[in-house]
Structure 1
Amino acid sequence: MIAAFAALSAVVAGLAPVDRARADDDADKPIRALLVLGGCCHDYAKQKDAIAAGVSKRANVQWAIAYDKDTGTKHLNPVYDHADWYKGYDVIVHDECSADVKDPETVDNVLKPHKAGIPGVVLHCGMHSYRSEGFPKTTPWFDFTGLATTGHGAQLPIAVTYVDKESPITKGLEDWRTVNEELYNNAAGKLLDTAKPIARGQQTSKSKDGKESTAECVVAWTNLYQGKTKVFATTLGHNTGTVADARYLDLLTRGLLWSVGKLDDAHLKPAKQVYIDGSAPAK
């Protein structure tokens, strides 16, 4: 009996260094992220670099950038023209502003990797994209994001309060106040049952007669799409001042790592290079 136990212990001891080596290799291997952005209403030329550099400074994430210079709402990002557009990436970050791209087959192609289980991150106007049949009450895209949102008010500062103190995403994060931002509404009144709020935002405005009113909406949350795919989402990020804010980048970084199941100290270290191909994308 003792001999058998000793033999088993020797086997376990022999395997341990291999397991540790595999863990070290996994930690050293960068997370490969695809950032899809472009379209209406935002300075994506600056924001793409703020996101990529800001996240890679905080976590072992390397980026491919699919930047569409078209400034309308009807143009589909050319990255989606390729059948296997998502292959080779660990997570897709949607920051496009394509409200009038509505063709069901096109939207299905955008959702294809997420239906297969590839995690997603959705930022700001990505929430207002792909308004296909069922809008404004529901769309296939809203099923993915976890929240129906249809519009916003004036650009004013938003007071951000973290409401889920137990979430690993919010660990170490403190409430903050943005520069002028757009507070996206919660059109259906609440998140889907598959989603969970992380942060709420309050925005105070004045009418022409000087009367103040305050609006409050969920501004960051998580969603479990089709019972298996992790999605992190935030409606913050209209202005580059917000996107480049360290507090925004902290939230985004932790949300992205959560989506791929790697929100740990091993991956919370700077990437050796920001872009997957070793060079910045074209301006």
Structure 2
Amino acid sequence: MKALLLPLLALGVVAAFTLAADPASSPPLKVLMVTGGCCHDYENQKMILAEGLSARANVEFTVVHEEGPEGKKDKMHKISIYEKEDWAKGYDVVLHNECFGGVTDVEFVNRIAKAHHDGVPAVMLHCSTHSYRAAQTDEWRKCLGQTSMSHEKNRDLLVKNVAPEHPVMKGFPSEWLDKKDELYKNDKLWENFVPLAKAFGEDTQKDHFLVWVNSYGKSKVFGTTMGHNNETMSDPVFLDLVARGLLWSCGKLSEDGKPVAGYEAKQK
């Protein structure tokens, strides 16, 4: 499989990753990946995710990558695609891998969440959980399924599977060492939050859930706060997990944790 990098829109950095078409199978899921912001290597992570997930599921990516003025990483930046009322129109799912915790514009944040409330599934990775936390609205937090305002220091995390029968966790080990990552603290779990995996907090001396699913309005949401560094993002266990979560959010994951027919990765 080859990933094609094509300019699409004047939105900062936008790219399309498309697998070769197979007329005998289902059309690929159209995935909008929104990425950029503070504190992470999004330039490489967008490629890791697009290529890794395309190797695991029948998906087609459009990537919107913005950092801020003059390309500087800026937690206050407001990604331009979100200025449109119908910003998610035409996509089957949105993958959020962004870090804009300083944004305070309530109308802007509510508009992002509204697309998901109205029915567009979401995949939430790592700092997306801390994005928009300065805004005085709970809609993004309800969309995520949890409120989190801080994380523990970067260290190895022993991740424990607490829902092995859930389709998203089929194939995930009972325990997995996530090297050099950040454990996000669960300050509040909203009513539709379903925990899938946890790790123990050294600061708080209690467990925090770092993989979950959620329902928000008409949409299904998969989330994980793992993925601070490229090593975690590149790990087959992580990519398998995110692929299952993405398919689950779109209703394309079987109970056995496998893609439904037509949504397996395309053959080379």
- Common fold: TM-score over 0.5: yes
- Could you report, residue by residue, the CA deviation over 1:28-85 in whole angstroms, capped at 9, with x for unpaired residues? 2101100001000000000000011101101101100001133111001122233432
CA distance in 1, matches of 2:49, 2:183: 20
Q: Matched residue pairs, number? A: 236
CA distance in 1, matches of 2:107, 2:83: 12
CA distance in 2, matches of 1:109, 1:193: 21
Structure 2: 5+ residue stretches without partners: 1-21, 254-258
Are 1:183 and 1:217, in contact at CA under 8 Å, matched by a contact in 2?
yes
CA distance in 1, matches of 2:194, 2:24: 29
CA distance in 1, matches of 2:47, 2:211: 22
Are 1:202 and 1:217, in contact at CA under 8 Å, matched by a contact in 2?
yes
Report how far residue 171 of structure 1 moved.
1.1
SS of equivalent residue, structure 2 residue 195: strand
Partner of 2:139 in structure 1?
A: 140
Q: Percent identity?
A: 39
SS of equivalent residue, structure 1 residue 28: coil
CA distance in 1, matches of 2:262, 2:179: 29
The one-letter code of the counterpart of 2:48 is A
Q: Does 1:72 align with 2:74?
A: yes
The one-letter code of the counterpart of 1:259 is S
Q: Does 1:38 align with 2:36?
A: yes
CA distance in 1, matches of 2:29, 2:267: 12
Structure 1: 5+ residue stretches without partners: 1-23, 206-212, 274-283
- Could you report, residue by residue, the CA deviation over 1:152-192 in whole angstroms, capped at 9, with x for unpaired residues? 1110011111101221111122131111000000112xx22
Report how far residue 25 of structure 1 moved.
7.2
Instruction: Please give the TM-score of this superposition, normalised by the length of structure 2.
Output: 0.82
The one-letter code of the counterpart of 1:63 is F
Distance 1:83 1:272, change over 3 A: farther
CA distance in 2, matches of 1:25, 1:118: 25
More helix by share: 1
CA distance in 2, matches of 1:105, 1:81: 10
- Could you report, residue by residue, the CA deviation over 1:83-105 in whole angstroms, capped at 9, with x for unpaired residues? 43211100011111111112111
Report how far residue 112 of structure 1 moved.
2.4
The one-letter code of the counterpart of 1:143 is K
Aligned partner (choices 82, 85, 96) of residue 94 of structure 1: 96
